[in-house]
Amino acid sequence: MIHDTLLPFSLIQWLIVTRAERLLKLMQLLRQYRYPVSGKVLAEQLEISLRTLYRDIASLKAQGAEIDGETGMGYVLNPGFLLPPLMFSDEEIEAIVLGSRWVAQKADSDLKQAAQSALAKISDVLPLELRRQLEFSGLMIGPGEVVATSDAVLSEIRRAIRKEYKLDISYSDNEGKASQRLIWPIGLGFFDQVRIVIAWCELRQALRHFRTDRITSLAVTPKCYPTSRQALYNEWRQMRGKY
């Protein structure tokens, strides 16, 4: 056996990072399963031995992860545990940066601040080398003109979606014809030039898309719609042919 004291410092550092990445991948795998998954399946997906997997499971438990199960029975992770330090691949960091910069440029001011805050929090817990990649990424979002919609309108729409509240809106169609609609908002699409509310329309008794720049007035009602947002979202995905 080679003792740590005989290993170069750079190799020791590499071994520590590699193991941390493996533990994070194990956590991510466990989060994907709602029911117990066998150690064999986890080991195959991580490309490690069962013995190594058992050691990693024990390490996560020692760090506070609530993992139910045992050898031969399968494992399931109870929610609420975050493994520090946060580790990302180069591509994951680039995706985070690009997504945050897109939100900062294309979304409303509340989401812009949230994106900047989230990026700062992630940066705080990253190792120095990964933090530099996060802060000095060369990925940019190109300029583009967005159809104006007030921050207040977008903020209220997002609040209604989260709470599953009905929205009372005055709406003008593409021909300028005005109508009053009571809608059940389930999603908000951010496109390059427009913002689209995906909602069940009580007037049409069907799922419809509404451009936010054509909403002339809006009020969030205190009434929850009678079905779950997830069910309506799944129906919309099937309608759009996205499974």
Name the fold adopted by 151-240: SH3 type barrels. (2.30.30)
CB 30 within 8 Å of CB 67: yes
pLDDT at 15 over 50: no
Element (H, E) at 121: helix 109-125
How far CA 71 is from CA of 22, 31, 57, 74, 225, in Å, comes to 19, 18, 10, 7, 45
Say what the pLDDT of residue 13 is: 39
E strands in the chain = 67-70, 74-77, 165-172, 178-190, 195-201, 206-211, 215-224
Phi, psi of 208 (to 5 degrees): -140, 165
Extents of the domains making up the chain: 4-77, 90-135, 151-240
pLDDT in tens, 96-129: 888 888 888 778 888 888 888 888 877 776 777 7
To which residue do tokens 């967005």 refer? 146
Q: Which of 109, 104, 91, 101 has its CA nearest to residue 140?
A: 101
Under 8 Å between Cβ of 148 and 215:
no
Q: CA 137 to CA 90: how far, in whole Å? A: 10
Q: State the fold for domain 4-77.
A: Arc Repressor Mutant, subunit A (1.10.10)
Please determine, for residue 80, whether its predicted confidence score (pLDDT) is greater than 70: no
Q: Which amino acid is at 129?
A: E
pTM: 0.58
Q: What is the distance between the alpha carbons of residues 70 and 76, in angstroms, rounded to a whole number?
A: 10
Mean pLDDT of 151-159: 87
Query: With 90 as the cut, is the pLDDT of residue 217 above it?
Result: yes
pLDDT at 2 over 50: no
